[in-house]
A and B are shown apart, each in its own frame.
Chain A
């Protein structure tokens, strides 16, 4: 065999090979060394890939974990003294009320420039937060009440040790006076750092300290719901037809080539399809989860069809023949016996397909699901974002606080993916049968 000839050159063309000679021993050594080298290359390759994975997860966790807490100030405000018309809570001058209360909390009189620095400690939406709390519970008007107000992003960074106070004052976003105020409040025991529930229950905001994923999570939920409702029945029906009913002809060949090819079409092209056909020709609403779900269902469809087509023939023919033998029609045989037995594999594949759909970003960007929307969508026709597009929006935002939020949002997205894949693995191991 010529393949190994270069390592097999006899010392003399006629005589026997002296395997114990120094030249032979050296050659053997070189050959084994080459073998070991290949093995080491392989190990290095795997170490590189796994090392990258570890770095990726490590970096994201390291930058993201801080966003899971939020620095808060507990402020006591006595609203019974304030001028508030109980019949018109919305109309009161909340800005001044809250600002006076904040200054009173510090216990010093502040000149206007100092006031500006001081108010910069708190989120600029503080008046609205207090107002909304009062709207929810008007009894807060009766006397002094405690309000928990998020600190603004620069102060949040300071509290988490992310601001280097050794830098000259003009090179950081927190000035010395603000640091001083912050320390005063801290000494009064007003600063706390609870778990950041706002990350999950607030919608998007321009201010990092208030921005949350509620809109993105519910948007992704609607997307996946639409995607599932379309791709699951259609995918299974198509697979059953192609596997069990379709005649072998040009048309079905074409369909098969199409399905295989669709699985490899770049996702951004599906986005172009959604933009031109669903938005342009059909006039469906922009940024709506309905359109996003439809586009994603077209991308998930090949996955479900391929999985189902692999699962159907694995059901033993004895079961089919038994069903036909006692008088079931072909439809009854498939829908009453074969499909239920193939269902665990199909569901596993479907969940994996949906997990892929959950992470898709590019097609959603093209149909406008990267809009700035400050309330969670209530249905599939309302404009919304999705988890990956929210990550994209935050990654593009200049504020420091959004870096941590982006990493945190990625961790949330990866968490959902892990859960979905875990369910798929559980289904496979618990219910999938091997015949």
Chain B
């Protein structure tokens, strides 16, 4: 229904744009004497904005609140609902909704049936009210939009003002997104900390979140200490960095300093392909090929490698980060002034000496910034570790063993059953908050390093 309404709004706006433009054009011809302020198209656009935008905003708000209001009304009329707790209410509402949409798992009670009838009547009422109100607002808007059409009316100013408002709102979306991220993470994390003490979460050494959701489930007691998870994250990130940093910097050195123009033109885009491959593809590749290879490597040197070893996940992640480090190092080398390079050559240094002793130190802040950005990506990378790393939080530095990461835990905790009143689910948001803060910190440090370096030359 909402989809049709949006279509209808677009059509109505189009019609009033054309009608408004025609009407303005006609009026100008008739009056002819004084010069009109705006061209007819602006009168049309103005009419279209009046017709479409208020109704569209209203429709969005209506859709946002409709379900909540209907649920509240249904619950209010349900006998004995004021004694129920919050989660019980959620359960009841979802049962009523299930029955209403025809998924009956057990014979509903008469009260539920009554509530279903109530829900259905409210829903059809809400739909009709929505259609009627939107139509009314369209009519009203169109009336105003057309009434102001007059040859001295400054339609262009009005349209441009609306456009400016839209642009201002759009640029606020970035802030709203960040605010939404912070608000949702903090809100859910606070709920988590109401159930699990902050100190246990921050300093606990055991992570066993698979607690019972229902009373009859067999599950662990639950322990929510994030240190082992964080430890695993840094083990895998360190492995990734051990692959990505040397390979990335060396390939950047070769491409900028040694390679011919043609070699560079061919190889650089091929390296960039590595950055464009979706991470789930890397994850599948890690499971399919790299992990078995590392297992047999471990066997050949007499180490018992786990099937989802940290090395498989970290190594593949490192390859994913190569183009990232390579292109940032490339930029850093390019930013070193020519004079420094040529001064070194003039003193008789070889190319290799110039690179190691002049270029690298001069480009170091830029490279460090790039490495930090890559590290923040490694910490936040999800799909490779979800597929290739383990689920059990272990404190081990052995790269052949399996460790888990923050992102793996977030995904596994939230796939499947997710009720918002459960420490298991809420723990994911607390981990998300930690992840957000770590990556934010790394990014800010990295950007600052890069900026400082830029000021030097």
Contact = CB atoms under 8 A, between A and B. Distances in A.
Interface of A: 1, 3-4, 7-8, 31-32, 34-39, 41-46, 48-50, 52-53, 55-56, 59-60, 63, 233-235, 237-238, 240-242, 245-246, 252, 254-255, 258-262, 264-273, 275-277, 280-283, 298, 301-302, 305, 329, 331, 335, 355-356, 358-362, 365-366, 370, 379-381, 388, 391-392, 395, 403, 406-407, 410, 413-414, 417, 421
Interface in B368-417: 373, 376-377, 379-383, 386-387, 407, 410-411, 414-415
B232 to A, nearest CB: 16
A59 B251 CA distance: 24
> Sorted from nearest, which 5 A-B pairs have the closest CB atoms?
A266-B380, A42-B254, A359-B278, A35-B352, A276-B184
Contacts of B410: 268, 272, 366
Contact of A241 (B171, B352, B407, B429): B171
11 contacts: A4-B344, A32-B350, A45-B247, A53-B274, A60-B281, A235-B170, A238-B167, A258-B178, A265-B439, A268-B380, A298-B177
Interface in B153-173: 156, 160, 163-164, 166-173
A239 to B, nearest CB: 8
Contacts of A39: 254, 258, 352
Interface residues of B, number: 97
Given A39-B352, A273-B180, A391-B280, A329 B160 contact: yes
A35 B177 contact: no
A53 to B, nearest CB: 6
Nearest to A272: B432
Chain A CB within 10 Å, residue with most, of B181, B287, B351: B181
- SS class, residues of chain B in contact with chain A: helix
B118 to A, nearest CB: 18
A237 B287 CA distance: 43
B452 interface: no
B411 to A, nearest CB: 6
Given A264-B443, A403-B288, A362 B383 contact: yes
Given A264-B376, A282-B64, A34 B353 contact: yes
Contact of A3 (B187, B350, B357, B411): B357
B178 to A, nearest CB: 5
A47 to B, nearest CB: 9
Contacts of A41: 250, 254
A63 to B, nearest CB: 7
A304 B309 CA distance: 38
Given A42-B253, A49-B322, A63 B270 contact: no
A388 B177 contact: no
A406 B444 CA distance: 38
Say whether chain A's binding surface is mostly helix, strand, loop, or mixed: helix
A346 to B, nearest CB: 14
A275 B278 contact: no
A281 B183 CA distance: 12
Contacts of B322: 49
Contacts of A413: 278, 281
Contact of A42 (B174, B251, B281, B284): B251
A245 B163 CA distance: 12
Interface in B322-339: 322-323
A368 to B, nearest CB: 8
Given A262-B178, A268-B407, A388 B278 contact: yes
Contact of A258 (B169, B174, B351): B174
Contacts of B277: 56, 359, 414, 417
Nearest to A417: B276
Given A4-B349, A49-B251, A56-B285, A246 B174 contact: no
Contacts of B349: 3-4, 7
B382 A267 contact: yes
B383 to A, nearest CB: 5
Contacts of A329: 156, 160
Contact of A280 (B344, B347, B373, B420): B420
Contacts of B285: 56, 59-60
B68 A283 contact: yes
Given A46-B251, A276-B187, A355-B276, A38 B355 contact: yes
B352 A305 contact: no
Contacts of B382: 266-268, 361-362
Given A3-B357, A275-B414, A238 B171 contact: yes
A237 B171 contact: yes
Nearest to B355: A38
Contact of A45 (B171, B185, B254, B278): B254
A255 B174 contact: yes
A235 B428 CA distance: 30
B436 interface: yes
B279 interface: yes
Contacts of A360: 278
Contact of A63 (B288, B357, B439): B288
Nearest to B185: A272
